[in-house]
Amino acid sequence: MKEMNSSVVKTALIADALPNMPWEPKPAGCKEVVWRHSANPIIGLHPLPKARSVFNSCVMPWGEGFIGVFRVDSLSMDPNLHLGKSPDGINWTIEEESINFISPDPALGKITVAYDPRLCKIEDKYYITWCNAYHGATIGQAWTKDFKTFHQLENAFLPFNRNGVLFPKKIDGKYAMLSRPMGQGMAINYGDIFYSESTDLTYWGKHRIVFTRGPGKWERVKIGPGPIPIETTEGWLLLYHGVTDTCDSFVYSMGAALLDINEPWKVLYRCKFPLMTPEKIYETAGYVGNVVFPTGVLADGATGRLAIYYGAADTYTAVAYANIDEIIKYIKENAW
């Protein structure tokens, strides 16, 4: 990892201006670099007649408002992906029926379990990745241009794998993805972040380790990439989740790292402290307690503001805010 320069370089987000994105100023007296939306959770229990909860979802700008792909757990606790729209990124209308994906091959089977999506625009298409069920957990992929017709692609990897996160631009002319290969179930013995690339989104290779779980106790069980990596003048900002074990349960927190812009498997800085840990009641108490799980982000290139969407306690959808300069400075000053 690079040595920190004594002077702090002002960071620029490589992103379009997004003046209508959700935002609240940092509360007076707040010492953290990430702070919560004052009216969290923005999506509570039973948002649809047949839905138990909505969490671990992703959003992006669309038209004059916002669009998202949401993990909706039904009353029977089966997860699937639903489309949602919002004028302001806070108040969401979610479709009652799950997304209908057009399959390229009957051998892929019908999608019956789909969860923890990510949403990414690359060139003129919008790509969805999610945890798909195909003889075990793997990375499902699909694309759309209009959010009306969704074309499924081949699963990216063999089971067992979760948290497939595409980069929003090609790296050296190739699609690039982060993922977390792991064993069956909780896989407490394995769970690290890898980089892979592909020329066609079908055949993936050049697998490279990015970083492993630990060395801090807060991420010693497993780690996994969070929202789509954020391009900045300092490198790719990667928000991720880290998991630790206690005598009572697991705890999921949000961490951050900076990756090289041209070779993203190379880590420039990795923060030794989590940016956010479960503290509020909607994060500590739910169907799975003590979970902060980031999966979506909005970025305003004009102001450097970030709105981070995260799942809380595997039950609710919540939002937090940050300034890019503060978050990059914090990572560098507290890097391993």
pLDDT digits (tens, 9 = 90+) for 280-320: 999 999 999 999 999 999 999 999 999 999 999 999 999 99
Which residue is it, tokens 């009652």? 96
Q: Tell me the pairing of strands 193-198 and 204-211.
A: antiparallel
Q: CA neighbours within 13 Å on the CB side: how many for 292?
A: 25
pLDDT digits (tens, 9 = 90+) for 10-50: 779 999 999 999 999 999 999 999 999 999 999 999 999 99
3-state secondary structure of 107: helix
Residue 210 confidence class, pLDDT cut points 50, 70, 90: very high
Task: Kindly give the residue spans of alpha helices, DSSP state H, lying in the chain.
Answer: 281-284, 324-333
**Residue 282 confidence (pLDDT):** 98
**Residue 185 confidence (pLDDT):** 64
Task: 76-84: list long-range contacts, CB under 8 Å, 24+ apart.
Answer: 77/52, 78/112, 78/113, 79/113, 79/114, 79/115, 80/111, 80/113, 80/114, 80/115, 81/114, 81/115, 81/117, 81/128, 81/130, 82/48, 82/54, 83/147, 84/57, 84/59
Is 189's pLDDT higher than 80?
A: no
**Residue 9 confidence (pLDDT):** 52
Determine the average pLDDT of the residues in 66-77: 97
**Residue 183 confidence (pLDDT):** 75
pLDDT digits (tens, 9 = 90+) for 91-138: 999 999 999 999 999 999 999 999 999 999 999 999 999 999 999 999
Is 184's pLDDT higher than 80?
A: no
**Residue 63 confidence (pLDDT):** 95
Domains of the chain in sequence order: 51-104+111-333 (2.115.10.20)
Is 187's pLDDT higher than 80?
A: no
**Residue 211 confidence (pLDDT):** 97
Determine the average pLDDT of the residues in 191-207: 97
